[in-house]
């Protein structure tokens, strides 16, 4: 196995929300990302996945935890060293239009990181920009364009070109295909995988879409309310998911080729999850198994090894998908 | 049997400041029967949302609309404004993509539903309120009596969309138009809202036009599907037929590019090359030809293919499809 490029240890971000209450956006999250692999973070809005991205880029200050890139703890860096570290760590945003300055041409957008971080002169920069545009599948003419003169897919390619301009080690891809058209989505995903091979990039791939995360990632962490609910390699997680939340996510995928195995509305509406439960398992109000169980109400299940699945799971009662479908069924029959 | 909704030769042009016309919807015809669920699927710019708005007759200058939209035999474009307002209030319901911007933030959700009910029929305020509370309960809002007095910001996104559904069905419409109703929602919330919508539509025998970019959402909800591309319907049919045996190259490509949980991760995805068409610069002939793997340089580039019937409730607009033999596929491959 390749070396570990990024190590996130016990990362937490708590926000004060008044009345001495704290919103635990990210709580005690740890994971390792190996060089050259894609680490997928999947979860609903509010699960903390984008907060983790912001903490890694130091756009937000964590409440606790450590983030190592190689041997350097990013959180201890002073501004000058941080600038250097950011060369290795770049981000591609969700909305390609909003992420580009609409008053700047593609040339200016991509040349800015080159001006800040390299000593290339204007001619060399121009050559590098054309090379980068080629890498992301755009013609050189596009260098003169403004964002509004390009399609969503083209804008996203420019965003990717900007992100790889400095030969970073790692890209953070936060919902990078959610805003582009369906027919373009596959193009961008293919491009990202090609670039990973060509440039030996490491990805942190964040999305709410389980099928896309599966396609892109070697390892996947399922986030729920700021904590990892289940973690595993792509193969293990999809062959044998055991957390009820993972089952819920899988049942929610609108797949045109398969009938759904269970309905989602048979468990709680999920609206009560907004008032976060303070004790016990945070998923229990939506869970077909643990909603009435004493231990689920009182004890927060930590992330522990699940022997059968070779995964990590935070659940008192890990179940197979068929067991969970059965639990859902009996719940709906009893009118609950 | 007369269809509930009959849209015939609908064209929507957008007049630009220089007087030129953009052809956003280009001569489309379709019908929706009573109790039927039709999916209009397409990418942004395909004209699907404009089609919905034109059925509601909500498009005004610079939009220019020709063709006819008949609801229960009445051509909506022949009505005067007052009559149309009555149709909108009583017979058509619409659910928009973003529930946050389609609810008024300074009125409680109860007041907004009551207003809709009182606009469509003469009932007392008290009765309208009772009905509003019943509707909120029906769409799964717990403790509806108290919640009716809450403002939109006190609801989550999924709950707000439930309120929108309650409002849309409050007047017992004949036809419900749902324009990307779950696009702004989380996957799990989306699944729940679509399940709710299915249940309500079934119970009330409503006809629905579901507008979406998501083939998965459409296929789990609809009976029939019409695929739009560049302002035209390129393929129509029963959902199972279209998904299992797509005829039009665009439909095929769209189905191929759906990311599913059993996709082979070792292979690149089958992407559609090129970019979606731009209204101001539509390609000649078949709008899809610049991106079509099967397109030839003669017919496809020069003639606009007509939507040809190929079977029961089945049609496609591609000149390469062999219609005579009745076989599905391309004559030259």
- What per-residue confidence (pLDDT) applies to A263? 66
Residue A300 Cα, gap to closest chain B Cα (Å): 23
Answer yes or no: do A208 and A281 share one domain: no
d(CA B57, CA B85): 9
| Chain A residues close to B275, C-beta within 8 Å | 151, 153-154, 184
| Chain A residues close to B273, C-beta within 8 Å | 187
Q: Express each pLDDT in B271-323 by its tens digit.
A: 998 888 988 889 999 999 999 998 888 889 999 999 999 888 899 999 998 76
Question: In the predicted model, what is the mean pLDDT of chain B?
Answer: 92
Q: Given the structure tokens 């030996």, which residue do they identify?
A: A200
- What per-residue confidence (pLDDT) applies to B148? 96
- What per-residue confidence (pLDDT) applies to B318? 94
Provide the 10 A C-beta neighbour count for residue A72: 15
Residue B88 Cα, gap to closest chain A Cα (Å): 31
Q: Is the peptide bond before A290 cis (omega within 30 degrees of 0)?
A: no
Q: Which domain holds residue A71?
A: 4-222
Q: Is the peptide bond before B62 cis (omega within 30 degrees of 0)?
A: yes
Answer yes or no: do A203 and A248 share one domain: no
For residue A234, being part of any structural domain is answered with no
Of A194, A222, A250, which residue constitutes the final position of a domain? A222
Token pair for B303: 């003639």
Token pair for B189: 């919330």
Give the whole-number percent of chain A exceeding pLDDT 90.
Answer: 65
Interface of A with B (CB under 8 A): 44-45, 151-154, 181-187, 189-190, 193-194, 208-212, 214-215, 234, 238, 248-258, 260, 263-265, 269-271, 274
Answer yes or no: do A76 and A215 share one domain: yes
Answer yes or no: do A71 and A124 share one domain: yes
Answer yes or no: do A216 and A246 share one domain: no
Answer yes or no: do A50 and A160 share one domain: yes
- What per-residue confidence (pLDDT) applies to A69? 95
Closest CA to A30 of A312, A233, A238: A312
Strand partners, A15: A23
The DSSP call for residue B121 is S
Ranges B19-23, B316-320, B322-326: which has the least confidence: B322-326
Token pair for A147: 């964002």
Answer yes or no: do A215 and A255 share one domain: no
For residue A175, being part of any structural domain is answered with yes
Provide the 10 A C-beta neighbour count for residue B146: 11
Cβ-proximal residues to A117 (8 Å cutoff; 6+ apart), any chain: A83, A87, A166
d(CA B178, CA B170): 15
d(CA B129, CA B108): 12
d(CA B65, CA B28): 12
Q: What is the mean pLDDT of residues B164-175?
A: 94
Q: Report the residue from B186, B216, B217 with minimal CB separation from A45.
A: B186
Q: What is the mean pLDDT of each run of 10 residues along chain A (336 residues)?
A: 92 89 90 97 91 94 95 92 92 87 94 94 96 96 93 93 96 91 91 97 95 96 95 93 92 82 58 58 87 88 77 91 87 66
Answer yes or no: do A10 and A127 share one domain: yes
User: Are residues A228 and A222 in contact, defined by beta-carbon separation less than 8 angstroms?
Assistant: yes
Q: Express each pLDDT in B58-107 by its tens digit.
A: 999 899 999 999 999 999 999 999 999 999 988 999 999 888 889 999 99
d(CA A237, CA B82): 58
The pair phi, psi for residue B170, each rounded to 5°, is -65, -25
Answer yes or no: do A182 and A92 share one domain: yes
Query: Do the chains contact at B260 and A234, CB–CB below 8 Å?
Result: no
Answer yes or no: do A214 and A247 share one domain: no
ipTM score over 0.90, yes or no? no
| Plot region of A107 (φ>0 → left; ψ -120 to 50 → alpha; else → beta) | alpha
Cβ-proximal residues to A195 (8 Å cutoff; 6+ apart), any chain: A135, A136, A160, A164, A201
Cβ-proximal residues to B166 (8 Å cutoff; 6+ apart), any chain: B113, B132, B135, B136, B138, B139, B141
Strand partners, B28: B10
- What per-residue confidence (pLDDT) applies to A272? 45
User: Are residues B221 and B198 in contact, defined by beta-carbon separation less than 8 angstroms?
Assistant: yes
For residue A299, being part of any structural domain is answered with yes
For chain B, the helix, strand and coil percentages under 3-state DSSP, each to the nearest 5: 35, 25, 40
Query: Do the chains contact at A256 and B186, CB–CB below 8 Å?
Result: no
- What per-residue confidence (pLDDT) applies to B40? 97
Strand partners, A230: A222, A313
For residue A83, being part of any structural domain is answered with yes
| Chain A residues close to B260, C-beta within 8 Å | 211, 253, 255, 257-258
Of A191, A222, A253, which residue constitutes the final position of a domain? A222
CA atoms within 13 A on the CB side of A284: 22
For residue A232, being part of any structural domain is answered with no
Answer yes or no: do A210 and A269 share one domain: no
Its pTM stands at 0.89
DSSP character string of A77-138: --HHHHHHHHHTEEEE-S-TTTTS-TTS-HHHHHHHHHHHH----HHHHHHHHHHHHHHTT-
Cβ-proximal residues to A21 (8 Å cutoff; 6+ apart), any chain: none
Cβ-proximal residues to B57 (8 Å cutoff; 6+ apart), any chain: B69, B76, B77, B84, B88
For residue A301, being part of any structural domain is answered with yes
Query: Do the chains contact at B265 and A234, CB–CB below 8 Å?
Result: yes
For residue A235, being part of any structural domain is answered with no
CATH code, domain with A118: 3.40.50.300
Answer yes or no: do A259 and A183 share one domain: no
Q: What is the mean pLDDT of residues B29-53?
A: 94
Q: What is the mean pLDDT of residues B184-188?
A: 85
Residue B5 CA: distances (Å) to CA of A40, A263, B52, B232: 45, 31, 12, 18
Domain count, chain A: 2
Best interface-test mutation with A: which of B188, B218, B225 has the largest number of A CBs within 10 A? B188
Mark which residues 252-271 of B lie under 8 Å from A by CB. Answer: 253-255, 257-261, 263, 265, 268-271
- What per-residue confidence (pLDDT) applies to B326? 46
Query: Do the chains contact at A183 and B265, CB–CB below 8 Å?
Result: no
Strand A170-174 with A89-92, pairing: parallel
CA A16 to chain centre: 24
Torsion sign across C-alpha atoms A38, A39, A42, A48? negative
Give the whole-number percent of chain B exceeding pLDDT 70.
Answer: 97
For residue A270, being part of any structural domain is answered with yes
């Amino acid at each position: 196995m390749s070396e570990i490029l990024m190590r996130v240890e016990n990362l937490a971000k708590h926000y004060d929300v008044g009345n001495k209450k704290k919103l635990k956006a990210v709580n005690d999250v740890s994971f390792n990302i190996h060089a050259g692999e894609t680490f997928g973070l999947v979860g609903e809005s509010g699960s903390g996945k984008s907060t983790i991205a912001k903490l890694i880029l130091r756009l937000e200050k964590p409440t606790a935890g450590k983030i190592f890139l190689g041997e350097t703890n990013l959180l201890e860096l002073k501004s000058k060293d941080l600038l250097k570290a950011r060369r290795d760590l770049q981000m591609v945003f969700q909305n390609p239009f909003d992420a580009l300055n609409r008053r700047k041409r593609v040339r200016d957008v991509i040349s800015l990181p080159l001006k800040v971080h390299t000593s290339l002169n204007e001619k060399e920069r121009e050559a590098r920009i054309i090379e980068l545009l080629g890498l992301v599948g755009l013609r050189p003419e596009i260098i003169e364009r403004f964002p509004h003169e390009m399609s969503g897919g083209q804008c996203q390619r420019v965003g990717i070109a900007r992100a790889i301009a400095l030969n970073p080690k790692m890209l953070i891809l936060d919902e990078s295909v959610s805003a582009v058209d369906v027919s373009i989505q596959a193009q961008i995903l293919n491009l990202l995988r090609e670039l990973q091979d060509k440039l030996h990039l490491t990805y942190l791939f964040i999305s709410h879409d389980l099928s896309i995360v599966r396609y892109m990632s070697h390892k996947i962490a399922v986030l729920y309310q700021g904590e990892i609910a289940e973690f595993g390699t792509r193969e293990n997680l999809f062959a044998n998911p055991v957390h009820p939340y993972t089952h819920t996510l899988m049942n929610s995928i609108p797949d045109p080729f398969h009938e759904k195995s269970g309905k989602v509305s048979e468990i709680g509406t999920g609206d009560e999850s907004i008032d976060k439960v303070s004790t016990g398992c945070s998923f229990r109000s939506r869970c077909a198994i643990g909603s009435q169980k004493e231990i689920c109400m009182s004890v927060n299940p930590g992330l522990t090894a699940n022997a059968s699945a070779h995964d990590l799971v935070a659940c008192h009662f890990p179940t197979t998908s068929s067991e969970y479908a059965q639990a859902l069924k009996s719940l709906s029959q009893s009118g609950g | 049997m007369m269809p509930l909704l009959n849209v015939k030769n609908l064209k929507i042009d957008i007049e630009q400041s220089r007087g030129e016309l953009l052809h956003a919807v280009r001569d489309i015809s379709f019908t929706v029967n009573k109790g039927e669920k039709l999916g209009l699927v397409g990418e942004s710019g395909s004209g699907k949302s404009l089609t919905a708005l034109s059925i509601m007759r909500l498009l005004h200058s610079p939009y220019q609309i020709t063709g006819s939209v008949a609801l229960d035999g009445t051509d909506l474009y022949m009505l005067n404004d007052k009559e149309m307002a009555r149709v909108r209030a009583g017979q058509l319901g619409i659910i928009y993509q973003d529930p946050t911007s389609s609810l008024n933030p300074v009125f409680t959700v109860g007041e907004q539903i009551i207003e809709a009910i009182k606009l469509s029929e003469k009932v007392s305020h008290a009765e309208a309120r009772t009905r509003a509370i019943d509707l909120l309960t029906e769409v799964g809002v717990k403790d509806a009596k108290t919640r009716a007095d809450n403002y939109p910001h006190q609801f989550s996104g999924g709950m707000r969309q439930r309120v929108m559904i309650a409002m849309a069905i409050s007047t017992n419409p004949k036809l419900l138009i749902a324009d990307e109703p779950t696009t702004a929602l989380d996957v799990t919330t989306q699944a729940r809202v679509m399940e709710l919508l299915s249940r309500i539509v079934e119970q009330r025998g409503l006809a629905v036009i579901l507008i979406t970019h998501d083939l998965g959402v459409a296929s789990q909800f609809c009976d029939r599907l019409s695929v739009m591309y560049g302002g035209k319907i390129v393929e129509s049919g029963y959902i199972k037929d279209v998904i299992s045996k797509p005829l039009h190259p665009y439909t095929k490509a769209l189905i191929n590019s759906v990311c599913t949980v059993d996709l082979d991760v070792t292979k690149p995805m089958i992407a559609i090359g090129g970019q979606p068409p731009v209204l101001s610069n539509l390609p000649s002939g078949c709008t899809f030809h610049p991106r079509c793997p099967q397109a030839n340089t003669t017919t496809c580039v020069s003639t606009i293919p007509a939507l040809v019937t190929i079977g029961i409730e089945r049609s496609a607009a591609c000149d390469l499809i062999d219609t005579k033999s009745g076989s599905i596929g391309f004559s030259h491959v």
